[in-house]
Amino acid sequence: MESKASRRKVALITGGSRGIGAATALLAAAQGWDVLISYQSQQAAAEAVVAQARALGANAHAVQADVGEEAQVLKLFGALDERFDSLDALVNNAGVVDVAQTVAEYSLQRLERMFRVNTVGAFVCAREAVLRMSIRRGGRGGAIVNVSSIAARLGAPGQYVDYAASKGAVDVLTLGLAKEVAAEGIRVNAVRPGLIETDIHASGGQPDRVQRLAPNIPMQRGGTAQEVADAIVWLMGDGSHYTTGSLIEISGGNL
Ligand code: NAP
């Protein structure tokens, strides 16, 4: 029988097809994790990440699932249950921005999408993870890492206050859930990235955002997805075993 010491740990990373999620999946795979990634629409990108993770020795799979739809989240966790016999880490990474607007300009459709994907999606995924990880429910414990943003403390005025607020709620989810499940063997932490070079800025209509704002960052540059992944994978693993309820800025001093 497989001993616990030799068991490969399993991580579910939402939005693992690109950016911070892809970097996290590959770093985790390189450190001996098996990975299930989800994606929204970029199947080819997701499959490329899976191929790279397998080349690193991981049992890796990708599943299309909109985290803003409960039925699709349940499908994602159903796929997890079929392919793996445990869940050791959930990374709530999938997230969206929108074009720069003031609060006075927001449509209800914009607000509902922002909170459905960034906030409700994180809650529903966290719920499903707790049901599988909790030692009170027969699980082995585990770690949840939420990907928030420094926008949650800065507010993002004139850009996307809605995005900042959706991440502020993720911070509170992190604090509250960490205390709620600490005695059930589950740690819950968040990273708050600053300006990171990924496709997300182009999706908000500002492809040059990192370069434009880099001079305002104390370290004078944007960060890389890899630099955020370093912190996420640390929070996923045993090296952070007394850390829970923490919100960690990965922002080059942009606070
Ligand atoms: P990205 O490069 O745009 O990648 C976004 C990922 O999320 C993709 O894998 C995408 O899937 C997936 N996704 C988007 N909407 C989804 C949905 N409804 N359901 C499931 N998956 C969905 O973004 P990123 O910069 O890596 O961002 C990752 C996280 O970091 C987000 O939560 C973001 O808010 C946060 N963050 C980023 C920055 C930054 O400067 N980049 C700063 C602070 C926080 P597809 O590939 O299929 O589209």
| Positions of the chain with pLDDT lower than 50, given as ranges | 1-5
Bridge partners of residue 189, in order along the sequence? 145
Per-residue pLDDT, 4: 41
122 Cβ below 6 A of ligand 1: no
Question: How confident is the model over 222-238, as pLDDT tens digits?
Answer: 999 999 999 999 999 99
Most informative mutation of 198, 206, 208, 217 for ligand 1 (most atoms within 8 A of CB): 198
Most informative mutation of 18, 26, 97, 117 for ligand 1 (most atoms within 8 A of CB): 18
Per-residue pLDDT, 249: 98
120 Cβ below 6 A of ligand 1: no
Which residue segments constitute the domains of the chain, with CATH numbers given? 10-250 (3.40.50.720)
146 Cβ below 6 A of ligand 1: no
Per-residue pLDDT, 1: 42
Q: Which of 39, 163, 34 is nearest to 94 (CA)?
A: 39
| Identity of the residue numbered 95 | G
Q: Is the distance from CB of 234 to CB of 241 less than 8 angstroms?
A: no
What are the residues whose beta carbons fall under 8 Å from the beta carbon of 127, sequence distance 6 or more?
Answer: none
159 Cβ below 6 A of ligand 1: no
Question: How confident is the model over 41-98, as pLDDT tens digits?
Answer: 999 999 999 999 999 999 999 999 999 999 999 999 999 999 999 999 999 999 999 9
* Distance between Cα 57 and ligand 1 center (Å): 25
Q: What DSSP letter does each residue of 158-222 carry, written as one string?
A: TT-HHHHHHHHHHHHHHHHHHHHHGGGTEEEEEEEE-SB-STHHHHTT-TTHHHHHGGGSTTSS-
Q: What DSSP letter does each residue of 36-56 carry, written as one string?
A: EEEESS-HHHHHHHHHHHHHT
21 Cβ below 6 A of ligand 1: yes
Per-residue pLDDT, 112: 98
Per-residue pLDDT, 6: 62
